[in-house]
Amino acid sequence: MTLSRDELIHASGIISDEQTLETSLDQLRGLVSPAAFTGETMLLNMGPQHPSTHGVLRLLIELDGENVITVLPDIGFLHTGIEKNMESKTYEKALVMTDRIDYLNNQGNTLVFSLAVEKLCEIDVPLRAQYLRVIVAELQRINSHLIWLGTHIMDLGASSIFLYALREREYILDMFEEISGQRMMGNYNRPGGVWRDVTPRFMTQVHKFLKYLGPKLDDYEAIVTENPIFVDRTKGIGVISAEDAINWSVTGPYLRGSGVNLDWRKAAPYSCYDHFDFEVPLGTNGDVYDRYIIRLLEMRQSIRIIQQALDGLPTGPTRTTNRKFAPPPRAELGSSMEALIHHFKLWTEGFKAPVGEVYVRTESPRGELGVYMAGDGTSKPHRVRFRTPSFVNLQSIGVCSSGVLVADLVAIIGSIDIVLGDCDR
Amino acid sequence: MAELMDITNQIRHAFPEKVQDIIEFRGEVTVIVDPSAILEVAHYCRYTEGLQFNLLSDLGGNDYFPAEPRFGISYVLYSMSLNHTIRLKVYLPNSDPTVDSVVSMWQGANWMEREIYDMFGVTFTGHPDMRRILMPFDWNGYPLRKDFPLGYEEVAFSFNNDRVMAKKPHPME
Amino acid sequence: MGVSSKLGEMGVITTSLETAVNWGRTRAMWPMLFGLACCAIEMMATQASHYDVSRFGMELMRASPRQSDLMIVAGRVSRKMAPVLRRLYDQMPNPKWVLSMGDCASSGGVFNNYAILQGVDEIVPVDVYVAGCPPRPEQLIDGILTLHNKVMGEKIKDWA
C-alpha cells in the first residue's frame, strides 16, 4: 500500500494531526532565509539530546553545504518554573531552589540571592562572613572553569583533559563537603552571612589545593595552548566585535574576549571584593581562542584572591546577630525567652520584607548574574527574577557564527559557556 | 548618589509630562515613565552626553494583580563609560498590555522581551520575532501571572493516595 | 551457577542459558547520554577517573539511542522535554532498562509546579530509582549494581 507524502509524515509522528508540514515551516518564515523553502539550503535539527550541546539545547541550523547561514536556538527544555515557585515559599525556603538554577555555580547563586535579601531588608553582614563568601565564590569559579575546560576541549577532540579537569574538581568538592555537608548544592550562603564557621581542616585543604593547582594549570596549558590543531580550530572563529557585544548585552568572559573591560567585581564591588588586589584579563580579537586564554588566566587570578582572603581572614561572627532575620544558636533556646520566640517566628512564618524592589548583580563565571527582587510586606517574595548570563549571551550566537562550518559551531557553543539550567531556569 | 539624582532631574526636564515619578530606594533610582514615551526616553538615555547608557542589563516584568495598573516592566540600564546604573519603569493596564519594543536601541532586549511575552502576555510592538520562548509553542496561558495556578501535585498520604495516583498518567509498555 | 570445569587444557564451563545471557547483558551495559541538569554533572563525575564507572563496562556513553541499553535519566524532566524523552525511549532496542537518577527524575524533587513532570515514571517504566539531590557517585554506582542484581535474576519467561 502506498501512502501519499502527507500520510507518511503523519504516520511517522513527526508532527501532530492538526498540523501540516506547511504550517510548521510557516513559523520560520521570517527567521530563515527564503532559500530554505525552495530546498537550496538544508534545515538541520541539532536536537535537545546531543553530546556537544552541553545540556538540552536545540539548535535549528540552516546549512548551505557545510556553511552555516542561520542559527536559531530553541530553549525551554529545562524550564523549571523556579521564579513562580519562589512566590509561594518564604525567603529562607526559596534559598534552597537557588542552588539548582545554575548548577555549576551553586555558591554564586545563593550568594546573589542572599545579597538581594540583605539589600532589601537592610541586614548587616559581619566581615568574616564576607571574606568566607569570597573564598567560597572563587573556589566555585575555579570549579566552573574546570568543567568548562574539560567539556570544551573534549568537544574539540582531546578527551584526556576532561579526566584531568574532573580530577582537580574532586578536591574542590571535598572542600565544599567539609563546610556544608554536600558536594554541590551546599546552601552555604544564607541571608545575613554564612551557615556556620569553617573547620581548621578546611583551611589546610585550601592551602594545599592552592599550591597544587598552579603547576597543574601549567601542564594543561602546555598540552593545549600551542597545539596546532587547537589553534587552527579556534583562532579567528566565532568573532564578535566590542560594539556588537555591548549592543547584545553580553557580559562575562565572552565580552572581555572582545577587549571590553567590564567585571562586576571591580565595577560594582560586593562582599568586600574591593579589599583584594587582582587583575581582569582581557582579549583582543574576540574569538574562541581569546576566551579560552581569558578563562585560564581567570583561574590563576582566583587563586590569587583566595590566597589574599585566607591571609587576611578576620575573626568574628559568621552570621548577623540580628535575631529578626537569623535564628539564634540552639544553646540559647533553653535559657532565653526572646531567643525562643525569635526561633518560633522564623521557623513558622519567616521574616517579613518591606515593600520595594532592588536589583543586585554579581559576576558569575558566565557573566552578570543578577536578582531583581520585589517585596510586598509579607514573608513571601512578590517577585524574584534571575537575570541569568547564559540566557542573554545565547541570543548573540547568530551574530558570531555567520559563515562558519558546522564543526566550528560546536567550538563556539563551548566558548560561550552556557549552562541550560541557567538559561531556562 | 547625587549625580544619579542630577541625571534623573535632567531626564525629567527633557520630558516634563512623560516622567511620572522618581523613586529612590536602598541607593537605587527608578524613573517611572509613561508607556507611550518609552522609546523616546530610551533614545535620550542612550545617546545624550553625560548619560550614555549603552548596556541594557535587565528587562524584567512584574504582575500587581489585582491592583491597577497591572503590569510593571523595568529596564535596568548601565553606562560603561561613566559607571552608573539607573532603572526605567513602565506600568501597563490590564486592558491593553502593549508597549513599544526597545530592540532598536539595544539588541539584547530581543529574548528578554520574548520571555516577558511568554510569562506575562505583554506584547511588544515592533519586535521582530514575538513567539514563546520557554514554554512549548502551543501552551495556553501566561505562567507568571498571579491568577495562573502553580499547578502543584498534592502530596500523597495514605488517606488520599488513590485519588492522587488516579490523576497521574501511567506509561504504556 | 552450576559450574563443572574440565581439568586440563579444555577450559570448558557449563552453566544455564539464563545466567550466561544475563551475565553478558550486565557486564557491558552501555548507557545513553541523557544528562539533563545537575545530576548530569554528578554522572560525569562518576565517569571520570576518581569514581571510575568503566570498571563496570559502562564508560562508553553512546549518544545514539539505537546503540545503547540503559537510559539514565539524570535531571529534571520538563513538560517540553517529555515527548522527546518518550521518543528516545521508543527508539532504544530491546532489552532496555531505565534508571531514574536523582529526586527530580524519581518524583519531581524540590520542584512541584506546572513545568516539571512529577517523576519520569509518568512516561517511561522505571527499573531502579536512585535518591539524592544530586546523588553522590557512590550512590549512583549502588543503583547500577542494584540494576545488575535485578538483571541477573531475570528468567527466560520474562524475555519472551
For residues A309 and A251, membership in a common domain is answered with yes
Please check whether residues A63 and A174 belong to one and the same domain. Answer: no
* CB-based contact B113:B94 (threshold 8 Å): no
Peptide bond preceding A269: is omega within 30 degrees of 0, i.e. cis?
Answer: no
Q: Which three cell numbers stand for residue B98?
A: 502593549
The answer as to whether A189 is a domain residue is yes
Q: Domain for residue A67, yes or no?
A: yes
CA distance B106 to A377: 34
Task: Pick the closest to residue A168 from C40, C39, C45 (CA basis).
Answer: C45
Hey, is the C-beta of B108 within 8 angstroms of any chain A C-beta?
yes
Which CA distances in Å does C39 have to A17, A31, C129?
35, 34, 13
- Bridge partner residues of A319 (DSSP): A193
List beta partners, residue B59. Answer: B75
For residue C112, give the nearest of B149, B152, B169 by CB distance. Answer: B152
Residue with cell 569553617: A198
Q: Show the cell assigned to C31.
A: 548507557
Q: With CB atoms and an 8 Å threshold, state whether C123 touches B169.
A: yes
Report how far residue A372's alpha carbon sits from residue A370's, in angstroms, rounded to the nearest whole number: 7
Q: Which comes out higher in pLDDT, residue A402 or C85?
A: C85
For residue B151, list chain C residues with Cβ-Cβ distance below 8 A: 113-115
**What single-letter DSSP state applies at residue B55?**
E
Residue A179 and residue A262 share a domain:
yes
How far apart CA B55 and CA B43 sit, in angstroms, is 13
Stretch (H or E) spanning B11: helix B2-14
Closest listed residue to residue A147, CA positions, set A418, A406, A412, A422: A418
- Give the list of residues 6+ apart from residue A255 with CB closer than 8 angstroms, or none: A245, A246, A262, A367
Q: Is residue A88 part of a domain?
A: yes
Residues of chain B found within 8 Å of residue C121, distances taken between Cβ atoms: 171
- CA C120 to chain B, closest CA, distance in angstroms equals 9
Residue in B60, B80, B150 nearest the CB of A84:
B150
Residue A175 lies in a domain: yes
Please write the tens of the pLDDT for every residue from C40-84: 889 888 888 888 888 888 877 777 888 888 999 998 998 888 888
Q: Look at residue C128 in the predicted model and tell me its pLDDT.
A: 93
Check if the beta carbon of residue B8 is closer than 8 Å to that of residue B22.
yes
Give the rounded percent of residues in chain C with a pLDDT score beyond 70.
93
Domain count, chain A: 2
Q: Which chains touch B (3 or more CB pairs under 8 A)?
A: A, C
Return the SS3 of C81: coil
Q: Decide if A328 is inside a domain.
A: no
What is the reported pTM? 0.90
Are residues A108 and A61 part of one domain?
Answer: no
CATH of the domain at A225: 1.10.645.10
Do A259 and A372 sit in the same domain of this protein? yes
Answer yes or no: do A215 and A251 share one domain. Answer: yes
Tell me, yes or no, whether A229 and A144 share the same domain: yes
In this complex, is the C-beta atom of B10 within 8 Å of any C-beta atom belonging to chain A? no
CA distances from B170 to A81, C102, C118 (A): 23, 20, 12
Q: Which are the contacts of A16, defined by CB distance < 8 A and separation ≥ 6?
A: none
**3-state SS assignment for residue B92:** strand
Q: Which residues of C touch A169 (CB under 8 A)?
A: 45
- C-alpha pair distances (Å), C100 with each of A12, A420, C69, C73, C121: 28, 20, 14, 5, 8
Contact (CB<8Å) C80/A76: yes
Which residues of C are less than 8 Å from A147 in CB distance? Answer: 41, 44
Residues of C in contact with A184 (CB under 8 A): 38, 41-42, 134
In this complex, which of A76, A81, A247 lies closest to B108 when CB atoms are compared? A247
Q: What is the mean pLDDT of residues B143-165?
A: 84
Same domain, A296 and A363: yes
Which pLDDT value is given to residue A28? Answer: 66
Same-domain pairing of A23 and A123: no
A141 and A188 share one domain: yes
Average pLDDT over residues B110-139: 88
Q: Is residue A374 part of a domain?
A: yes
* C111 in contact with chain A, both atoms CB, cutoff 8 A: yes
**Cβ distance of C41 and A76 shorter than 8 Å:** no
Residues A86 and A63 in one domain: no
Distance CA C120, CA C127 (A): 11
Domain boundary among A74, A101, A116: A74
Q: In this structure, are A293 and A177 located in the same domain?
A: yes
What is the residue type of C1? M
Residue of chain B whose alpha carbon sits nearest to that of A16: B138
Q: Which of A31, A77, A420, A249 is CA-nearest to residue B131?
A: A31
CB contact B110 to A (< 8 Å) = yes
Pairing state between β C97-101 and C128-130: parallel
Domain boundary among A58, A74, A90: A74
Judge whether B39 and B46 are in contact, CB under 8 Å: no
* CA distances, C144 to each of A116, C25, C137 (Å): 41, 13, 11
Output the pLDDT for position B140: 86
Residues of A in Cβ contact (< 8 Å) with C111: 80-82, 85, 97
State which residues form the domain around A178: 82-320+351-424
Residue A195: is it exposed, middle or buried by C-beta count within 10 angstroms (0-12/13-18/19+)?
Answer: middle
In the A/B pair of chains, how many CB contacts fall below 8 A? 98
Query: What pLDDT is attached to residue A21?
Result: 44
Note the helical H segments in C28-154.
38-47, 82-91, 103-107, 137-152
How close A145 comes to chain B (CA, Å)? Answer: 23
Give residue B147's identity as a one-letter amino acid code.
D
Q: Which residues on chain B are in Cβ contact (under 8 Å) with A372?
A: 58, 60, 74, 76
pLDDT in 10s for each residue of chain A, 425 residues? 444 555 544 444 444 445 444 445 566 666 777 766 777 788 888 878 777 667 888 888 888 888 888 888 888 889 988 999 999 999 988 998 888 898 999 999 999 999 999 999 999 999 999 999 999 999 999 999 999 999 999 888 888 888 999 999 999 999 999 999 889 888 899 998 999 899 999 999 999 999 999 899 999 988 888 889 889 888 888 888 888 888 899 999 999 989 889 999 998 898 889 999 999 999 888 889 999 999 999 999 999 999 999 999 999 988 888 888 888 888 888 888 988 999 999 889 888 889 999 999 999 999 999 999 999 888 899 999 999 999 999 988 888 887 888 888 888 988 888 888 889 88
User: B1: pLDDT confidence band, cut at 50, 70 and 90?
Assistant: low
Inter-chain contact B57–A85, Cβ cutoff 8 Å? no
Q: Taking the CA of residue B134 as centre, how many other CA atoms within 13 Å lie in the half-sphere pointing to its CB?
A: 32
Question: Which value does ipTM take for this structure?
Answer: 0.90
In sign, the C-alpha dihedral spanning B65, B69, B73, B74 is negative
Q: Are B50 and B37 in contact, with CB atoms under 8 Å apart?
A: no
Does B165 score more than 60 pLDDT? Answer: yes
- Residue B25: CB atoms within 10 A of its CB come to 15
Q: Which of A24, A58, A74 is the last residue of a domain?
A: A74
CB B4 within 8 A of CB B86: yes
Task: Please state, in angstroms and rounded to a whole number, the distance separating the CA atoms of residues C76 and A17.
Answer: 28
SS (H, E, C) chain A: CCCCHHHHHHHHCCCCCCCCHHHHHHCCCCCCCCHHHHCCCEEEEECCCCCCCCCCCEEEEEEECCEEEEEEEECCCCCCCHHHHHCCCCHHHHHHHHCCCCCCCHHHHHHHHHHHHHHHHCCCCCHHHHHHHHHHHHHHHHHHHHHHHHHHHHHHCCCHHHHHHHHHHHHHHHHHHHHHCCCCCCCCEECCEECCCCCHHHHHHHHHHHHHHHHHHHHHHHHHCCCHHHHHHHCCCCCCCHHHHHHCCCCCHHHHCCCCCCCHHHHCCCCCHHHCCCCCCCCCCCCHHHHHHHHHHHHHHHHHHHHHHHHCCCCCCCECCCCCCCCCCHHHHHCCHHHHHHHHHHHHCCCCCCCEEEEEEEEECCEEEEEEEEECCCCCCCEEEEECHHHHHHCCHHHHCCCCEHHHHHHHHHHHCCCHHHHHC
DSSP per-residue codes, C12-26: -----HHHHHHHHHH
Domains and CATH numbers, chain B: 2-134 (3.30.460.80)
Q: Within a 13 Å sphere around the CA of B168, how many CA atoms are in the beta-carbon half?
A: 23
**How would you classify the pairing of strands B19-25 and B28-33?**
antiparallel
